[in-house]
């Protein structure tokens, strides 16, 4: 089996498999015992056991989650990176509050606790903000980083001048200048980029632009039409308003559903119906998603729609070059 | 028309089973056992264990029938119950295993299962069975069973983000393993 046939094969696995033998006799015997009345006894005994166990678990949790080691290892890759203005040798460490800087010909790699690493590109200034078990945080003042994290979501954060990139299990490149003008490119998994109450969820093979003093832009896929990207840019950063939004709707394909899903919650209320209708044409909503709930931005409705959209997007990206995928449904066209 | 008829028949069996009618419950078992067994098999990755878990699911179902209010199809309710039963069993097993597996080798189970299947012309079902437990659960529920991340979060108690990360991990591991 070709690895790229994975998703199709998973959908075609049989939903029902008969057990190797009839299990009913064993079940009948056990429910017979249940009917005889085993429930309810020993409740107090169980409580006596569970109370000290719960206390022990609480102590263990405190020990596990307490801050440990506030330094991260740093390696010089090229040139002469500096940590707090001191030249970095072949390797060294960064403490919380310290700054790593690279000039135009320098590169370095930061080990993010035990959960991943960050390649620091030339011309970058980055500060270690927190090094805790539940909060690994850098602040990128300017320049670029390539982050790869293999950990549960929301353990690794990068603050930038215009928001915070939150790792959701991913790999990405984040570039910004000191004014906040930059771009996020996700190459694996998902990244959430949030600022001032506005959130973009950027999946693999998608971009989000950033500009100083503005919320993150509407994400778009790598092969999005130039007219769509321009319309989204105008909408997010140039006060393009409803005309820019409608230009985006006209330019969008089914492959661009992640953009329209984000646009739905960014446009003013009177325009949401048009965005929803276009999105529903491009990617029919799953069961349980109805227009009335979507245009009032009901979170459960939007989440359910997003699950469909990101699933199709993942199949398109994964099977690119192997087999054509219908961007409306996520099914193979072959 | 036929689906309406089936719904009426199903409701009657559930109501009768709630009242202690074993024959009605056996009828429900006969209808749903294949789906429940498939779910248990894929979530556990072990045939013998899947049979035990299937029995556990139906016993648990019998005990919990009084809480089923018909807000969803009986099958949907049963499969969610099955996920919960397997999930609880897996967690119990993992806790027991963690007592004897050195912390310094967190991938021991992963490597062991991978080595055991190397060179066998591994197919998708086998590859799924070799996934680490959390990744396998999410892959089966999301990609095979079609649940959303929100459903999975509700059923298993993990965060939506964790479910997404596990799915990403599962797909990556499957691609790697099916590549060999």
> Which residue of B54, B148, B168 is in closest CB contact with A19?
B54
Partners of residue A169 in chain B, C-beta under 8 Å: 161, 164-165, 168-169
> Bigger pLDDT: A268 or B155?
A268
Residue B124 and residue A1: Cβ atoms within 8 Å? Answer: yes
Residue B139 and residue A10: Cβ atoms within 8 Å? Answer: yes
Residue B38 and residue A15: Cβ atoms within 8 Å? Answer: yes
> Bigger pLDDT: A21 or A145?
A145
Write out pLDDT tens, residues A194-232.
877 788 999 999 999 998 888 889 999 999 999 999 999
Q: How far apart are CA B87 and CA B89, in angstroms?
A: 5
Dihedral over Cα of A5, A6, A9, A11: its sign: negative
DSSP B131-162: S-HHHHHHHIIIIIS---HHHHHHHH---HHH
- Please report the ipTM that was assigned to this predicted complex: 0.77
pLDDT at A292 over 70: yes
Residue B159 and residue A3: Cβ atoms within 8 Å? Answer: no
Q: Using CB atoms within 10 A of its CB, is residue B88 exposed (0-12), middle (13-18) or buried (19+)?
A: middle
**Tokens representing A261?**
């899903």
DSSP A140-171: EEEEEEEEEE-SSSSSEEEEETTEEEEESS-E
- A83 three-class SS: strand
The pLDDT score that the predictor gives to residue B3 is: 35
In a mutational test of the B interface, the residue from A8, A9, A300, A329 whose CB has the highest number of chain B CBs within 10 Å is: A9
Write out pLDDT tens, residues B84-138.
888 888 776 554 444 333 333 333 233 333 333 333 334 788 888 888 888 998 9
Q: How far apart are CA A60 and CA A39, in angstroms?
A: 32
- Chain B closest CA to A284's CA: distance in Å? 16
The pLDDT score that the predictor gives to residue A118 is: 96
Give the residue among A253, A251, A252, A298 at the shortest CA–CA distance from A272: A298
Query: Taking a contact as any Cβ pair under 8 Å apart, which residues of chain B between 40 and 99 contact chain A?
Result: 41-42, 47, 50-51, 54-55, 58-59, 62-63
Give yes or no for B149 touching A (CB within 8 A). yes
Partners of residue A26 in chain B, C-beta under 8 Å: 55
> What is the percentage of chain A residues whose pLDDT exceeds 70?
87
> Which residue of A7, A11, A16 is in closest CB contact with B34?
A16
Write out pLDDT tens, residues A9-23.
787 788 888 888 888
pLDDT classification of A53: cutoffs 50, 70, 90: low
Partners of residue A199 in chain B, C-beta under 8 Å: none
> Which residue of A1, A152, A307 is in closest CB contact with B162?
A152
- A13 three-class SS: coil
Half-sphere exposure of A191 (CA within 13 A, CB side): 31
| Residue matched to tokens 């109805």 | A290
DSSP A167-201: ESS-EEEEEE-TTS-EEEEEEESEEEEEETTEEEE
Nearest CA in chain B to A32: B22
The pLDDT score that the predictor gives to residue A305 is: 94
What does the pLDDT average to over A315-319? 84
**What region does A260 belong to: left with phi over 0, alpha with psi -120 to 50, or beta?**
alpha
Nearest CA in chain A to B28: A24
Partners of residue B30 in chain A, C-beta under 8 Å: 24
Q: How far apart are CA A326 and CA B115, in angstroms?
A: 37
Nearest CA in chain B to A299: B150
Residue B38 and residue A307: Cβ atoms within 8 Å? Answer: no
Q: Report CA Rg, chain B.
A: 18
Beta-carbon contacts of A201 under 8 Å, excluding residues fewer than 6 positions away, are A168, A190, A191, A192, A219, A262, A306, A310
Give yes or no for B147 touching A (CB within 8 A). no
Strand partners, A116: A112, A149
The pLDDT score that the predictor gives to residue B46 is: 82
Beta-carbon contacts of A97 under 8 Å, excluding residues fewer than 6 positions away, are A127, A128, A129
The pLDDT score that the predictor gives to residue A250 is: 97
- Chain A closest CA to B165's CA: distance in Å? 5
Write out pLDDT tens, residues B32-87.
898 999 999 888 888 888 889 999 999 999 988 888 877 778 888 898 889 888 88
- Chain A closest CA to B8's CA: distance in Å? 23
**Tokens representing B165?**
């990360």
> Which residue of B124, B150, B178 is in closest CB contact with A304?
B150
Looking at chain A, the number of H-run helices and the number of E-run strands are: 9, 17
Q: Mean pLDDT across chain A, nearest whole number? A: 85
In a mutational test of the A interface, the residue from B123, B161, B167 whose CB has the highest number of chain A CBs within 10 Å is: B161
Nearest CA in chain A to B50: A19
């Amino acid at each position: 089996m070709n690895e790229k046939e994975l998703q199709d094969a998973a959908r075609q696995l049989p939903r029902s498999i008969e057990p190797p033998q009839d299990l009913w006799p064993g079940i009948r015997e056990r429910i017979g015992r249940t009917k005889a009345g085993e429930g309810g006894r020993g409740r107090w005994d169980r409580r006596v056991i569970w109370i000290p166990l719960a206390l022990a678990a609480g102590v263990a949790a405190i020990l596990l989650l307490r801050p440990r080691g506030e330094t991260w290892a740093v390696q010089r890759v090229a040139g002469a990176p500096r940590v707090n203005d001191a030249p970095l040798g072949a390797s060294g460490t960064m403490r919380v509050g310290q700054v790593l800087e690279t000039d135009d010909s320098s590169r370095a790699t930061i080990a993010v606790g035990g959960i991943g690493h960050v390649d620091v590109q030339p011309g970058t200034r980055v500060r270690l903000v927190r090094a805790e078990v539940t909060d690994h945080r850098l602040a990128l003042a300017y320049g670029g980083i390539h982050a790869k994290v293999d950990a549960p979501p929301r353990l690794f954060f990068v603050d930038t001048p215009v928001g915070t990139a939150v790792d959701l299990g991913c790999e990405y490149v984040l570039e910004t200048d000191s004014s906040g003008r930059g771009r996020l490119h996700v190459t694996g998994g998902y990244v959430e980029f949030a600022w001032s109450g506005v959130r973009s969820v950027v999946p693999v093979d998608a971009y989000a632009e950033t500009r100083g003093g503005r919320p993150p832009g509407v994400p778009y896929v790598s092969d999005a039409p130039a007219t769509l990207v321009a319309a989204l840019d105008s909408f997010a950063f140039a006060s393009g308003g409803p005309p820019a939004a409608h230009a985006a709707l006209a330019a969008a394909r089914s492959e661009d559903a992640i953009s329209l899903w984000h646009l739905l919650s960014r446009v003013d209320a009177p325009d949401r119906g048009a965005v929803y209708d276009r999105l529903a044409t491009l990617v029919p909503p799953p069961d349980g998603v109805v227009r009335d709930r979507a245009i009032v931005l009901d979170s459960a409705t939007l989440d359910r729609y997003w699950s469909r959209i990101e699933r199709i997007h993942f199949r398109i990206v994964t099977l690119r070059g192997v087999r054509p995928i219908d961007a409306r449904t996520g099914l193979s066209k072959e | 028309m036929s689906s309406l008829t089936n719904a009426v028949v199903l409701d009657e069996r559930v109501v009768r089973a709630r009242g202690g009618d074993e024959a009605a419950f056996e009828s429900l078992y006969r209808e749903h056992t294949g789906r429940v067994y498939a779910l248990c098999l894929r979530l556990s990755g072990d045939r013998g264990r899947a049979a035990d878990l299937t029995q556990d699911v139906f016993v648990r179902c019998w005990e919990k029938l009084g809480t089923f209010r018909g807000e969803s199809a009986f099958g949907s309710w049963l499969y969610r119950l099955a996920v919960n039963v397997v999930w609880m069993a897996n967690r119990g097993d993992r806790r027991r295993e963690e007592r004897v597996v050195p912390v310094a080798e967190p991938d021991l189970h992963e490597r062991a299962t991978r080595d055991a299947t190397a060179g066998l012309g591994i197919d998708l079902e086998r590859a799924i069975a070799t996934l680490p437990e959390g990744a396998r659960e999410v892959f089966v529920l999301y990609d095979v069973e079609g649940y959303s991340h929100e459903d999975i979060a509700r059923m298993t108690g993990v965060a939506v983000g964790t479910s997404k990360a596990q799915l990403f991990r599962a797909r990556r591991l499957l691609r790697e393993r099916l590549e060999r």
